[in-house]
Chains A and B, each alone.
Chain A
Amino acid sequence: MPVNEQERSVRRRLIFAAMNGNATPTAIEKAIDTLDNEFGDVEEIRFNQVIRRFQQTLDATEANLNAVLGKVMTLRQKPAEELGPDPRNGVAIQPRSPSERGPSPGAATRRVGLHHVFATMVETFVAHLRNLGNGSDRHLLEALLQSPEIEKLPPRVAKAIQDWTQSPQGTLEIQGTVEDYRTVIHAIYVWLCQKLGPVDADRLLSGVVRTAEALPEAATNSPRQLL
């Protein structure tokens, strides 16, 4: 029986979250492709088999697969909504080390520092709403497009947000201040409270913060300063 898209997305997010920071962007892309192509229709997936397959297809210098396997085992205990964004949705991939940073053909756009933390948070919100499957991700983007709070941001930042909401499959590229990022996160939170209720909004916000805190960037750019 084919595995549904929601389950496939959860697997991709799990592998992505485990590999991000432990593998090069190219290796992550290869791994996600392998996961989709070779394990996409496997109903009962065994992640140690998946990682063994990665060992056969990836160069040892491209990924620390022992660390990836350990992280997979930890992450699979978490609820699906805390796994972070789906890499198929244009999420930026974090290079393994600073030396690897730089243009890489085929890799998604790279973001650094607080901007990356912020963008991951926003994308995780959207990814979670997309997984609900009721079109609420689109509604959120529409709400952001019309939000008076977003309109009050500096024109450059507001335009970047509005451009992204119209084509969210692209990466979110905004160079704003902490205050700008806070405004966007807050606008999303208010919308979530109205749409899902305050309890679910709090829970989702906490999950998003935990996801962002798993990023290497979060060590020096805490996502909590955006709350």
Chain B
Amino acid sequence: MTPEDIQNNLDTAWIVVAAVLVFFMQAGFAMLESGMVRSKNSINVIMKNYTDMCFGAIVFWALGYGLMFGSSSGYFGTDHFMLGEGEGSELAILFFQMMFAATAATIVSGALAERIRFVPYLFAAMTITGVIYPIYGSWVWNADGWLATRGFVDFAGSTVVHSVGGWCALAGVMVLGPRLGKYAQDGQSREIGGHNLPLVAFGGLILWFGWFGFNGGSTLTADQSIGKICLNTHLAGAAGVVGFIMARVIFGGKLLMTQTVNGGLAGLVGITAGCATMDPAYAVATGLAAGFVCVIAMSLCEPLQLDDAVGAIAVHGVCGVWGTLAAGMFYEGDLMNMARVQTQLLGITAAFLWAFPTSWVTFKIISAIVDLRCSSMDEQRGLDFTEHHEVGYPEFQGQLHA
């Protein structure tokens, strides 16, 4: 076995391990999102997380991977669909990317919790993982993508995964409308607390854990850069929490645990684009600022009556924008290069102009064909019972009669 063979084997092993870590993020999303909703909707949230990953995996294998990484003229790939042959390393990359695609869809599920019907959601999730996410991804991560050739920096997907997911969530929230009674007649927002806050915290920690695979695995090679990437990831997540708490103290407001978890996620989303190309000090700055950005973005969603059940638009959409901008501003050895920052802005704008309208049209088409939103009676009963005919906590919720 040559040294090259050993390196290839190590690379493949690292990609698979990282993919498994990213896969485990689905558990984090499921716990965080289900803890943040009322108990009568907890199973529905888990079901969406569980199944969007499964449907998404098949759609991404059949269609998405080819669109993203096939031979491209700059806008989408045209081969590598239903990939079954190839070197082990390429299949490992497909496996790894499949987990990323599932993440983009899962971001959407939390935002739309407690009012979207299950089967229509699956169609939306398949469209996101099969078309919307991979086409934008091809612009950035396909070597021939039009943003890639312009030097757009998004190492692990602040924009490709998180902002795209966030903008899809925004479109879904706008099409669906708020939950029943979320906003009073005078426009005042009402807090709808989660039913299991320890689950939220545990889910947040699992996401953080998985993020080391998300960012570290994006090297696609087992080399020494992983150390810096993981260090930056952790520092930015920690700084996100610190920034979030500082923002709350400065601007006023309650120090909610659920939102503190979101502060950490904001820092992690923020560093995802620049984790490989930033000094640790700038990773701290990026995470710190992401905590502030998260607070501001969440407070902007309320007057706009954007009922995002878990804060996905702020955490993933807006903090993804900040992180991508920061990756350009704090590029190692080339700080504040305005040409690079302009390219970053171009990529950020392109993500919004692609993901938001296409997902909005997707949700609109689905809602024209079937009921996308559940009835108010279903909201009263809870989607656990109406969509899945089982309840998360039978001892407390009792058995409803159909």
Binding site for B on A (CB under 8 A): 182, 186, 189-190, 192-194, 196-199, 201-202, 205, 222, 224-225, 227
Contact = CB atoms under 8 A, between A and B. Distances in A.
Main secondary structure of the interface of A (DSSP, over half): helix
B363 to A, nearest CB: 23
B190 A227 contact: no
Contact of A198 (B192, B381, B398, B399): B192
B38 interface: yes
Contact of A193 (B38, B181, B193, B399): B181
B224 interface: no
A198 B180 contact: yes
A32 B375 CA distance: 43
Contacts of B399: 224
Contacts, number: 47
Given A197-B190, A205-B380, A225 B401 contact: yes
Max count, chain A CB within 10 A of own CB: residue among B191, B380, B401? B380
Interface string B163-196: 0000000000000000111101100001111000
Given A193-B180, A224-B398, A186 B380 contact: yes
Contacts of A201: 181
Nearest to A222: B401
18 contacts: A182-B377, A190-B180, A190-B376, A192-B181, A193-B180, A194-B180, A197-B181, A197-B182, A197-B190, A197-B192, A198-B38, A198-B181, A199-B38, A199-B191, A205-B380, A224-B399, A227-B381, A227-B400
B380 to A, nearest CB: 5
Nearest to B380: A189
A83 B380 CA distance: 22
Interface of B: 38, 40, 179-182, 184-185, 190-193, 376-377, 380-381, 398-401
Nearest to A213: B398
A210 to B, nearest CB: 10
A205 B40 CA distance: 13
Given A194-B185, A197-B184, A227 B380 contact: yes
A199 B192 contact: yes
Contacts of B192: 197-199
A196 B179 CA distance: 14
Contacts of A205: 380
Given A193-B180, A224-B399, A199 B376 contact: no
A93 to B, nearest CB: 27
A18 B350 CA distance: 67
A202 B182 CA distance: 13
Contacts of B193: 199
Contact of B190 (A198, A222, A225): A198
A146 B401 CA distance: 28
A37 to B, nearest CB: 40
Contact of B400 (A186, A196, A199, A224): A224
A193 B182 CA distance: 8
A2 B182 CA distance: 40
A213 to B, nearest CB: 9
A202 B381 CA distance: 10
Contacts of B38: 198-199, 202
Contacts of A198: 38, 179-182, 190, 192
3 residue pairs, one from A and one from B, having the closest CB atoms:
A193-B181, A225-B401, A197-B190
A186 B380 CA distance: 8
A32 to B, nearest CB: 31
A188 to B, nearest CB: 10
B378 to A, nearest CB: 10
A135 to B, nearest CB: 15
A208 to B, nearest CB: 12
Nearest to B381: A227
A189 B179 CA distance: 13
A190 B376 CA distance: 7
A194 B181 contact: yes
